[in-house]
Chains A and B, each alone.
Chain A
Amino acid sequence: AQKVTQAQTEISVVEKEDVTLDCVYETRDTTYYLFWYKQPPSGELVFLIRRNSFDEQNEISGRYSWNFQKSTSSFNFTITASQVVDSAVYFCALSDVGAGGTSYGKLTFGQGTILTVHP
């Protein structure tokens, strides 16, 4: 069975600080996808990134960067020079291509990390 763990329930930082959100996953499949979503107070989940299990290259997009390490089953997310607008709940999610397609269309989410950036 799939499982995603976000050990940090809440993180509070001051603007311009760097912050890393941790994500650890479990799956028995060799082919899977990892995601990060952001949920602002409005409630809509906003897609940030998707990585497949065969691509361990780290990725940087502006102030955001992601570190994927299969050896430790982790997919961590770093925000550099945080801003107040980054305040939201961040979810890590896993989707695997299970045997017979039984996991198709299903995302397994972590419990989320509430990030608060103070001015």
Chain B
Amino acid sequence: KAGVTQTPRYLIKTRGQQVTLSCSPISGHRSVSWYQQTPGQGLQFLFEYFSETQRNKGNFPGRFSGRQFSNSRSEMNVSTLELGDSALYLCASSLLPTDTQYFGPGTRLTVL
């Protein structure tokens, strides 16, 4: 069974731009969670989607948004990028929201 895939793997953007990251969950998994990892803040929860609905959201500004499609694939969007948004963005999928999460390789975003 294929694991969680994330595209692109690396991105370089400039301040003020917006970016969209994509996540394809493990086949059959319906819950997708997103995390931001930075050296200073560690791993922080962004949001979780299940059956195309956002069920939970972390403490991030409204510039961070996401969605989930009927095939469980998910995208997250960051608008008006700031330097502090430079991070590794990790996506995880699970069968249900309370099940074990399996992570993708991440997208490394650099904001210049």
Tell me if A63 is interfacial: C-beta within 8 Å of chain B.
no
B48 at the interface (CB under 8 A from A): yes
CB within 8 Å of A: which of B25-57? Answer: 31, 33, 35, 42-45, 48-50, 55-56
Q: How far is the CB of B76 from chain A (nearest CB, A)?
A: 14
* Whole-angstrom CA separation of A33 from B101 in the bound complex: 12
Which B residue's beta carbon lies closest to that of A44?
B105
Q: Does B98 contact A (CB under 8 A)?
A: yes
A64 within 8 A of B: no
Residue-wise, chain B 5-43 has the 8 Å CB interface mask toward A (1 for contact) of: 000000000000000000000000001010100000011
Tally B residues with Cβ within 8 Å of A: 27
Q: On chain A, which size bracket covers the interface?
A: 20 to 34
Prevailing SS type, chain A contact patch: loop
Mask of A36-57 contacts with B, CB within 8 angstroms, 1/0: 0100001111110010000000
Inter-chain contact B100/A105, CB cutoff 8 Å: no
Q: Report the separation of the CA atoms of residues A1 and B56 in the bound assembly, to the nearest whole angstrom.
A: 15
Is the beta-carbon distance between A102 and B43 smaller than 8 angstroms?
A: no
With a 10 A CB-CB cut-off, give which of B31, B43, B56, B58 has the most chain A CB atoms: B43
A-B contacts, 27 listed (Cβ < 8 Å): A33-B98, A37-B103, A43-B88, A43-B106, A45-B90, A45-B92, A46-B103, A47-B100, A47-B103, A50-B100, A95-B98, A101-B55, A102-B56, A104-B56, A104-B97, A104-B98, A105-B55, A105-B97, A106-B33, A106-B45, A106-B48, A107-B35, A107-B43, A107-B45, A107-B92, A108-B45, A112-B43
User: Which residues of A pack against B, CB within 8 Å?
Assistant: 33, 35, 37, 42-47, 50, 91, 95, 97, 101-112
